[in-house]
Amino acid sequence: MASERWPATIDEAVGVVIATLSDEEKATIAAIAAIAESELIGLHFGLGAWIRNNLGLWKGNGALLESTGERPSDDASMVIVEAVWRRVRKMVPKVHWDVWLLKARSGSSSPLDC
């Protein structure tokens, strides 16, 4: 994403991220916290890295860093991951969580794994 198109707020960043996710990926993110919110750290190297690379957190997007209230890019990306999770949980019907949990237990890998 070109620097002149970087999102400047958490809300804008969440919109960009969600627009890139498939329905299955949205269900996966929503289901992660059905187990425990602390599991969101599992998205640090997959989704978090995508956020850091594509939304300018490592390339000078100071407005977005400031919006998150975090200075290290890693911490800022996790603020956005958590915001994505909160919004996706409102969007994805809970019935999909059971499907994700069954896949996870059967050894099927998540599309968000790095």
Q: For residues 15 and 78, what is the distance between their CA atoms, to the nearest angstrom?
A: 15
Domain borders along the chain are 9-105
**Confidence (pLDDT) at 23:** 86
- Let me know: does 52 contact 58? Beta carbons within 8 Å: yes
**Confidence (pLDDT) at 100:** 59
**Confidence (pLDDT) at 1:** 72
**Confidence (pLDDT) at 114:** 42
**Confidence (pLDDT) at 78:** 96
Q: For residues 98 and 78, what is the distance between their CA atoms, to the nearest angstrom?
A: 25
Q: What is the pTM for the complete model shown?
A: 0.77
Structure tokens at 73: 């890019």
Q: For residues 101 and 81, what is the distance between their CA atoms, to the nearest angstrom?
A: 20
CA dihedral for 96, 47, 111, 101, sign (positive or negative) = negative
Q: What does pLDDT average to in each consecutive run of 10 residues of the chain (114 residues)?
A: 86 96 86 73 93 96 97 96 90 63 60 49
